[in-house]
Amino acid sequence: MKETEGKKLLFNKWDASEVKVNDPGLVRYVNLTALIIPHSCGKFSKQEFNKANMPIVERLINRLMQTENNTGKKQMTIRIVREAFEIINQKDQAQPY
């Protein structure tokens, strides 16, 4: 039985439990909750400071959607981030985040 069985892995590949945030000022704002697909459907936008609860990978995806070519195309942006993580994993043989 795998040790990752039963855990939520980001994109079904990477475990976020090994990642540590060293900066005490950022610990509150960097949420490393692993989701299979980082898409919360805007549930964190209803309160003023609730974006701190949004996973950091989803915040990256939302920020990339503000570019000229990816405006409003969340599925394409998720694919871009997933492929970028795979490239990082192939080059370094380490977890991408």
Average pLDDT over residues 31-42: 72
Average pLDDT over residues 36-64: 76
| Residue 59, token pair as written in the block | 């915040």
Mind listing the pLDDT tens digit for each residue in 69-88?
A: 878 888 898 899 899 988 98
> Is 3 a residue whose pLDDT tops 70?
no
Mind listing the pLDDT tens digit for each residue in 51-60?
A: 777 788 888 8
- What span, in angstroms and rounded, lies between the C-alpha atoms of 83 and 97? 13
> Is 6 a residue whose pLDDT tops 70?
no
Average pLDDT over residues 38-65: 76
- Put simply, whether the predicted model's pTM sits higher than 0.75 gets the answer no
For residue 85, give the nearest of 76, 77, 95 by alpha carbon: 95
